[in-house]
Amino acid sequence: MLSGKQIVLIISGGIAAYKSLDLIRRLKERGARVVPVMTRGAQEFITPLSVGALSAEKVFTSLFDREDEHDVGHIRLARDHDLILIAPATADLMAKMAHGIADDLATAVLLATDTPVLVAPAMNPKMWQNPATLRNLETLKQRGLTFCGPASGEMAEKGEAGVGRMSEPLEIVAAAEALLRDTDAKAGMLPLTGKHVLITSGPTHEPIDPVRYIANRSSGKQGHALAKAAFAAGARVTLVSGPVTLPDPDNIEVHHVESAADMLQAVNASLPADIAIMAAAVADWRVTSEGKQKIKKDGSGKPPRLDLAENPDILKTIGHHPDLRPKLLIGFAAETKDLVANARAKLERKNADWIVANDVSPETGIMGGDANTIRLVSKDGVEDWPQMSKSDVAARIIARAAAALTS
């Protein structure tokens, strides 16, 4: 979501300035260009040398730099970027912003900008709770600035705790992604703006007794990547996830479920949707009667009898829904043989539009791995895609889906 975005990072003078170094790294690893502006106070805590080394950019520090201001450099900083991010934002800087003071480079940039501004405050809890700060906060919110934090916790000052800690770098990154995504959506730059995308992900666990369950090896990586890609394309995303060890994607509505029956209920409750992508590897079977206590060995050497029943077929149920079938319905086929034949049969039987087929034989490493090799099966034929990361597969599927939805 941040790939190719240009961000001006204003670092003001608080102890939380040390977090801005990690923030720069997190923004850059997501593809953003980070142009730093440091106040005089910030330079008391961290150096322009360290900031410049991490950002690989010139660090701007002075409003009266002859070289930078020969072409009104502070105006270029204010206008020629996608986002201005202030982290940390001190009480002093917030007060100057609220009252239109422009007595240094940072405040001049902020007064001259017409680009989105994201503020990550950091200060002592008493300063944050001061009526003057709260009035400034409300003023800035009314002007359209977006805030991330502050968080609650211990302060640098001994014995001080409360609300005032700067949010962690990854939280700020998520807030920047959401703000830029909303900005692009309002500008009509995202193909799925105004659309609802429903995605299932991960395995299901079908309980045998309080200790054991039937499951599969799905990690949920592909489904979660699809959810992130759909959000980046402007969609409102609902993710129904079976048990996985992955963190919930930022800015996405997530419903956690255990069994196939739970997943079907959550999917039905999330309809209608413009696009549904059933990426979860739902267990085909469940035991007919779940044991209330742990099943123990009886000494006979014989295994206990387990009577199995077929689980609800979520893709087929949605595909044949009389009223709420999505305009575009995409299923997955994880096979170990006869990949295309099985995918074509699944496409027809479940009334899907596309089937994303992949060979999950153990030697492929696809289940649980970070890469995927798929064959996209539709009524128009079969497309062979090269091996890609699951994130790249997700982006390509979402791009194709957006194009299909508008064609």
1 is a domain residue = no
Place of tokens 């995927």: 372
In this prediction, residue 246 carries a pLDDT of 95
160 is a domain residue = no
pTM of the predicted model, to two decimals? 0.80
In this prediction, residue 136 carries a pLDDT of 97
**180 plus 222 within the same structural domain:** no
**97 plus 37 within the same structural domain:** yes
In this prediction, residue 56 carries a pLDDT of 94
**149 plus 47 within the same structural domain:** yes
Q: Whole domain around residue 21: which residue ranges?
A: 6-155+165-186
Task: Using 50 as the pLDDT threshold, list the residues of the chain that sit under it.
Answer: 70, 72
Instruction: Please state the domain count of the chain.
Output: 2
* Residue 311 identity (one-letter amino acid): N
22 neighbors 120 (Cβ within 8 angstroms): no
User: Which residues carry out catalysis?
Assistant: 216
**269 plus 144 within the same structural domain:** no
Per-residue pLDDT tens digits for 249-280: 988 999 999 999 999 999 999 999 999 999 99
Residue 363 makes CB contacts below 8 A (sequence gap 6+) with: none
For 293-317, the DSSP string reads S-----SSSPPPP--EEEPP-HHHH
Q: Which residues are annotated as a binding site for CTP?
A: 284, 294, 312-315, 332, 346, 350
191 is a domain residue = no
309 neighbors 288 (Cβ within 8 angstroms): yes
Per-residue pLDDT tens digits for 292-333: 889 888 888 888 888 999 999 999 999 999 999 999 999 998
Work out the number of other CB atoms within 10 angstroms of the CB of residue 54: 19
**205 plus 151 within the same structural domain:** no
> Among 28, 60, 58, which residue's Cα sits nearest to residue 43?
60
**327 plus 357 within the same structural domain:** yes
In this prediction, residue 67 carries a pLDDT of 64
In this prediction, residue 353 carries a pLDDT of 96
Q: Is 203 helix (H, G, I), strand (E, B) or coil?
A: strand
CATH number, domain containing residue 117: 3.40.50.1950
Q: Which residues are annotated as a binding site?
A: 284, 294, 312-315, 332, 346, 350
CATH number, domain containing residue 289: 3.40.50.10300
**334 plus 399 within the same structural domain:** yes
* Segment holding 166, helix H or strand E: none
